[in-house]
Each structure stands twice: as structure tokens, then as C-alpha cells.
Amino acid sequence: MNQKEKILIHYQENHKEIDGKLYKRCSIHEEYSPNEEEWLLCTDEFFYKNKGSNDGLSPYCKTCEKKKNSQWGKNHRDKRANYCKKHDQNPKRKENLKRMNKEGRDKGVQRDWQRNNPNKMKEYRENREMHGNHKISKKEWINCKEYFNNECAYCGLSIEQHYNKFKGEIRLTDFHKEHVDHEGNNDLSNCIPSCKICNSSKHTSLFDEWYNKDNPNFSSNRLNKIHKWLHEDYKLYIKATN
């Protein structure tokens, strides 16, 4: 049997006509959606486009492909994090995400999701309360910023240049009290000053995976200073404020 005959048989096994319309069977439906209909209309409403296939569509339906990608991401967190880190640097992608997020907020998608997922929202609030707010004094925060020369510990942006937009108005704002370890302590031992851009970029990434030579703002001097603060010098400032 030659290659063309194999392709034809494969096509016939996964395509059929019903009431004059062409239907297609998702090749991974049994694994990801066994209780749902596996024969779907052979259109881009149910399958993503794929120029390399015979019918111009993916062999997986959209529902299963999303589940498959989600499962892969859970099983390969490091690879997915590295991919997202590089992919998110693309200016076009940033603009698309910004546009889609705004469209979602305008349509009430975020509000509806929050209403329909109260348990997840409760978990989010509890996690944020546990890891989201530092419990440090004003004096400790001042000392922390002065230790880093009143600059973002990651990129070196000075606090005099740290502007943010609020309700359409550009304002000079304070740095973020950054959790270097997202799941770590809420005291000075896990706190450095960070500008809004670096804080958003790092999000919940592991410090060493995010702040390295692949990071456009990386500096070996700043890295050494962060390590020195986290492992040694923060203790001096805690003692000085007690």
C-alpha cells in the first residue's frame, strides 16, 4: 500500500456525509471527551484551521485541543513558563492581549466568570491574603528602598521615574513591595522594591527562571545585590527598626 492510499483510507475513516453535510471525527475524542459527540461538522466552527491537512482543518476538535494543551501545560510547567516568557515579549502579542482583556471587561466576561466561580475566587482571595501583602513597617520599607538606591531592584528604574496611569491620569507612584518568592514570607526577608513593569512581568514565576541572562533587564551586579539582601543584609535593617 502506497502513501496516497494510506492517506485516503485515513481520510475515509475520519470523514463521512450525513444529510448532505460533511462530518469529521476528532482523533482524540475518546481520550479527552468520551461522553460527547465525536462526529462534528467539518468546519472551522468546530476545528481549528490547519493548512497542512487534507481538509484544511486540525485533526482535533477545538474542545479536545484545548484540553490537550491544558494537560500538556500542567505536565510541563517549566517548558510552558519558558515558552510564555519568550512569547510574551512579542509586542504584537502584548497589544492583542491588552485588546482582548479590555474587550472582555467591556462585555462583562470577567465579572460573569467571578460570579460563576465563587470557590475559585475564595481560594484566590485567601492565597492573596496569605502571600500578597507584606507585613513590614514604614521604616523597614524606606530602608529597603534606600538599600537599592531608590531604584527597582530588577531593572534599575529610579523611583523618580516610576509613573503609572490611574483613571487616565499619569501619576508618580511608589514601587511595589515585591515577593521574590511568591510562596515565601511576607516580611523583609522576601521583599525588594520593584517597578510595575517588572512586577507584572515576573508575576508568580520562579526568581532564577525569570531573572537571568534571557531577561532584557538582567544585570549581574543587581542580581548579586538582591542575593546579598535576601540572605544577609535584610537582617541588619530588621534589627535597626525593632
Asked which of 70, 94, 121 is the last residue of a domain, the reply is: 70
As given in the structure block, the three cell numbers for residue 181 are 518568592
Copy the grid coordinates of residue 242.
Answer: 525593632
Residues 201 and 218 placed together within one structural domain of the fold = yes
According to DSSP, the residues that pair with 191 across neighbouring strands are 179
User: How high is the pLDDT of residue 229?
Assistant: 96
- Which pTM value belongs to this model? 0.51
Q: What is the pLDDT of residue 105?
A: 74
State the residue range of the domain holding 186. 138-241
Same domain flag for 143 and 222: yes
Domain shared by 98 and 166, yes or no: no
CA 90 – CA 84 distance, rounded (Å): 10
Residue 241's pLDDT is 46
**Residues 99 and 30 reside in one and the same domain:** no
Indicate if 119 and 176 belong to the same structural domain. no
Kindly report the average pLDDT of the chain as a whole number.
85
CA atoms within 13 A on the CB side of 103: 6
Q: Which pLDDT value is given to residue 127?
A: 62
pLDDT of residue 182: 81
- Farthest CA pair distance, the chain: 82
Predicted confidence (pLDDT) per residue in 99-147, tens digit: 777 787 778 877 888 888 888 777 766 665 555 577 899 999 999 999 9
Give whole-number Cα distances, 217 to 48, 67, 88, 221, in Å: 37, 35, 15, 12
Asked if residue 169 is part of any domain, the answer here is: yes
Q: Are residues 172 and 154 in the same domain?
A: yes
Q: Which of 124, 85, 120 is nearest to 210 (CA)?
A: 85
- The residues that bridge with 176 in the sheet, in sequence order, are 194
Q: How far apart are CA 67 and CA 234, in angstroms?
A: 44
pLDDT along the chain (242 residues), means of 10: 72 90 92 88 93 89 91 80 65 74 78 83 64 80 96 95 83 93 88 92 87 91 96 84 46
In this structure, the answer to whether residues 149 and 120 fall within a common structural domain is no
Choosing from 70, 93, 116, the residue where a domain stops is 70
